[in-house]
Structure 1
Amino acid sequence: MNKLFMMKTVASAITLAIPFMVNAANGQPTEAYKGYDTPGQYMVTKTTTLADNMMPVIYNAGQEKETAQKLAELEKKTGKKPNILVFIMDDVGWMDVGFNGGGVAVGNPTPDIDRVAEQGLILTSAYSQPSSSPTRASIMTGQYSAHHGILVPPMYGQKGGLQGFTTLPQLLHDQGYVTQAIGKWHIGENKESQPQNVGFDDFRGFLSVSDMYTEWRDASVNPEIALSPSRQEYIKNLPFNKSDIHATRSGTFNEVAEITPKYMEDLDQRWSQYGADFIRTMQKSDKPFFLYYGTRGCHFDNYPNAYYAGRSPAKTSFSDCMVEMNDVFNRLYKSLEETNQLDNTLIVFTSDNGPEAEVAPYGRTPFRGSKGSTWEGGVRVPTFVYWKGMIQPRKSDGLFDITDIFPTSLALAGKSGAELAKLVPKSTFIDGVNQASWFVGNTGQSNRRAEHYFLNGQLSAVRVDEFKYHTLIQQPYAFTSKGYQGGFTGSISKTAGSMIFNLYTNPQEDESVGIRHIPVGIILQEEIKNYNNILNKYPPSVQIHL
């Protein structure tokens, strides 16, 4: 074959492979690329309204049918609805775990967490509220913070909580579930808001947050309080509980022990033993269970116990805690495995917010911002769902919100679609979306079109597909330039109206593309308008605020 013929043949092949011809006069294509619509991108996809007081959804008929069949077959095999385990960590960032590129790479290996994650569905765009209590209330109510009104964490006896809400544990209890809460609560200390009075059959844990038990006692943290007897006595007498407690449904609680810095060292171990024991007791039960497990770690103050101190390669108290959290999770997982309950248990692994950035050492995120903000670093959290034999191992960047746990859990309990709307008052708007078919469908996609972000109860941003539009932003360095700066520092400011980021090309959110993406902006502005219409019909609530 001569050289000229070979060149002509190659040229012909290239011409056939390219879907357009180039105009020799100006070098521009005479026929445009046809392009490709990526599955799971919904910017121009219509949503379906299931009920007036429920978030509109993307209805994927094929995966809904497939999921219904798989769930029916499993229930026939097991004789009961599936168990649900929600494992929620504290102040753990998107990149603190190995399955998101952290773990050993940042000095705190999480091998057991990673192993289970890689057998499940890793959700790379899962969202919380900006801080702990708002997120936990969102799990319990299926509502964004703007609707449930717990806008910030209650501290040192501040009033407000879940009193009067229709909660996930109560609804699951009504469907025949045994409901167990373990660990951190922090959604109201008043009697009516305590876990045993909002739907849980049993609770073991503390009612608030780690630092409230330690910071005023520790001279290395607050010498101005700890070394002043009168000041310390004042804090001690504030109306907040200071103990590790136990309570049963509709009762008062018993104090197991007062929480001191020394007691704190072993708290996660005590709780994980309680969790493992609960799982073992459920082995032969004819009822399914809902286990809400909130770790103490890794919220400051971290006091590693004798075994975990220095156990991480990074040798910080935070990284030592992450190594311990790996073992805590594995202890619960192994308990499910050894009692043959894995194939009938959905595990949701997540964190309550991104890393806090004001008390070092703290967690990691590749994104801008931290806890307390609605930059991605503050609200995009490490998340996966696992269900042996039911969830196909894969990763997805479909949108998932913590509120989705509420309708997804109830769908698994047999109350899906508009049936869920009948279980809550007509004045209650459910912001969560049922994601059961995304999880269980072999090639399932998210059923959520948009993510909505809130700062102190105000709609601050919206994301659809890879684009995010900000109306309010948090600026940590607005007033100070020294020290650690995080989401509770600085100021909140309105944007000028065209603050749009492409989170695929600019996940750091430091280069707005709004002026060049006006067609995208129109769609995002419409989503903001749509949600504001929801807020007009189902007004915001304010319970706990700055």
Structure 2
Amino acid sequence: MIIVRSLFVLLLLAAAMLAQGANPDRGIVYDAEFVKLRAQNAAEWAAEDAALRDKLAAMRKKYGRPPNIIHIMWDDNSLGEVGIPQMNKVLGFDTPNINRMAEEGISFTRMYSEPSCTPTRTAALTGRMSVRAGMYKVGFPPDGMGLHKDEITIAEVLGKVGYRTAFVGKAHQGDIEQSYMNHQGFDYANFSMYNQFPLINWHEFLGPSGAVQGLFESQWDRKYTVDREFRPLEYVNQLEGRKGEKPRVFTGTSLPEYKQLMRQHQQLVIDYLDRAAGGDKPFYLAYWPHVYDLVRKPEELTTSASTPFAQSIVELDADIGAIMEKLRETG
């Protein structure tokens, strides 16, 4: 797992070099905090970079190609909810597979993300502060904005050095065409333009609130219908496509379809790993699952916490365990 940390540093360096290559006259404009940190840590950073290059060179010599990279990211966990068995006991649910990864690898206790999903995902894709990419708010349909085509993503950087790239899950980078993941450097992408909550809220038992938020089909001609000009008659959430192609609608926007989405995405990832194992290129897979199903029957809850949130995390942990087992199986 030290390799995972080192690869992250390497990818940031690669993104920086690519950005400078795109505009060599300007280069990168660093903020004052970075300049201060560089002055304090320059020698240590140089030594770490040298060790990183040596490690990657040794791996390439041993395996004949650069390492594969899988990046799994999801929303809304606070400090200690996963990766720490003692906190699992306090909170009332277990995450043994994620805990094992933390034990065998590295846990960052002072690594801070943006406080909401869209900006965090922009930062992970571009290596930049999200506000500098214009992605500082949480998108809801219809949004009319998104990640600009001129942003340089990690998928584009890795694609230029020979990686196969794939994205599966929640992108939440807007609903304009240039923001689609298959237009942002990924060879294959199955992605959502928005977050989970329109899908979770668009169901009938919410009554008038659900009708206004979701405008589900059975309510289109009833008294809570919003004026036709304002109603998103063709609301789409999940798309699938290959690089440069027009994507297709992958699934609908009903609650039952959303409930199946995690299972569909997990299977896509397992199938991708099977295919990639026999390939002649290294791969980068971004798996950003939606995770949360907050509309559950009491009998579906199996944790001592007895909450839909806890149940979703337990199911995510099982999915990560299946991915790790597939990696061991395929070598």
1:202–1:223: structure 2 CA closer, same or farther, 3 Å change rule?
A: closer
2:182 to 196, 203, 215: 196
Aligned partner of 2:268 in structure 1 is 274
* Aligned-residue offset at 1:241: 3.9
Task: Tell whether 2:70 aligns with 1:85.
Answer: yes
Q: Deviations over 1:59-105 (max 9, x none)?
A: 31433333222211111011111222111111122222142743232
8 Å CA contact 1:133–1:154 kept in 2: the answer is: yes
Aligned partner of 1:302 in structure 2 is 294
> In structure 1, what residue type is equivalent to 2:267?
Q
2:320 to 319, 329, 347: 329
Instruction: For 1:143-292, list aligned pairs within 5 A.
Output: 143-164=128-149, 165-220=151-206, 222-223=209-210, 225=212, 229=222, 231-232=224-225, 237-238=231-232, 241-292=235-286
8 Å CA contact 1:183–1:295 kept in 2: the answer is: yes
SS of 2:189's partner is: strand
Q: Deviations over 1:303-350 (max 9, x none)?
A: 4599x921222111101101011012112222211111xxxxxxxxxx
Higher alpha-carbon Rg: 1
8 Å CA contact 2:65–2:281 kept in 1: the answer is: yes
SS of 1:266's partner is: helix
2:116 to 131, 137, 143: 131
> In structure 1, what residue type is equivalent to 2:231?
N
Q: How many residues align?
A: 289
Q: 1-side partners of 2:185 and 2:158: how far apart?
A: 8
8 Å CA contact 1:86–1:292 kept in 2: the answer is: yes
Q: 1-side partners of 2:177 and 2:290: how far apart?
A: 22
8 Å CA contact 1:304–1:321 kept in 2: the answer is: no
Instruction: For 1:132-531, list aligned pairs within 5 A.
Output: 132-164=117-149, 165-220=151-206, 222-223=209-210, 225=212, 229=222, 231-232=224-225, 237-238=231-232, 241-298=235-292, 302-304=294-296, 309-340=300-331
Q: Deviations over 1:248-288 (max 9, x none)?
A: 11111112321311122222111011011111111122211
Instruction: For 1:86-101, list aligned pairs within 5 A.
Output: 86-99=71-84, 101=86
Aligned partner of 2:22 in structure 1 is none
2:93 to 108, 113, 117: 108
8 Å CA contact 1:217–1:232 kept in 2: the answer is: no
8 Å CA contact 2:142–2:232 kept in 1: the answer is: yes
1:143–1:157: structure 2 CA closer, same or farther, 3 Å change rule?
A: same
1:98–1:67: structure 2 CA closer, same or farther, 3 Å change rule?
A: closer
Aligned partner of 1:452 in structure 2 is none
SS of 1:314's partner is: coil
Q: 1-side partners of 2:297 and 2:243: how far apart?
A: 32
For normalisation by structure 1, the TM-score amounts to: 0.49
1:326–1:305: structure 2 CA closer, same or farther, 3 Å change rule?
A: farther
Bigger RCO (CA 8 Å, 6+ sep): 1
Structure 1 residues without counterparts, runs of 5 or longer: 1-48, 341-546
Aligned partner of 1:43 in structure 2 is none
Q: 2-side partners of 1:232 and 1:127: how far apart?
A: 42
Indicate the larger mover: 110-119 or 95-104: 95-104
8 Å CA contact 1:186–1:208 kept in 2: the answer is: yes
Superposed structure 1 runs of 4+ greater than 6 Å apart: none
* Aligned-residue offset at 1:151: 1.0
Q: Deviations over 1:148-171 (max 9, x none)?
A: 121111211112211221222112
SS of 1:128's partner is: coil
Q: 1-side partners of 2:95 and 2:249: how far apart?
A: 33
1:62–1:115: structure 2 CA closer, same or farther, 3 Å change rule?
A: same
Q: 2-side partners of 1:129 and 1:219: how far apart?
A: 33
1:230–1:207: structure 2 CA closer, same or farther, 3 Å change rule?
A: farther
Structure 2 residues without counterparts, runs of 5 or longer: 1-15, 18-26
> In structure 1, what residue type is equivalent to 2:303?
S
Q: 1-side partners of 2:235 and 2:68: how far apart?
A: 31
> In structure 2, what residue type is equivalent to 1:320?
Q
Q: 1-side partners of 2:69 and 2:259: how far apart?
A: 28
Q: Please, what is the CA RMSD of the aligned residues?
A: 2.7
Identity of aligned residues (%): 24
SS of 2:166's partner is: strand
8 Å CA contact 2:200–2:294 kept in 1: the answer is: no
Q: Deviations over 1:205-229 (max 9, x none)?
A: 3221111123133433735636683
1:223–1:239: structure 2 CA closer, same or farther, 3 Å change rule?
A: closer
8 Å CA contact 2:164–2:187 kept in 1: the answer is: yes
1:132–1:243: structure 2 CA closer, same or farther, 3 Å change rule?
A: closer
The structure where strand makes up a greater share of residues is 1
For normalisation by structure 2, the TM-score amounts to: 0.79
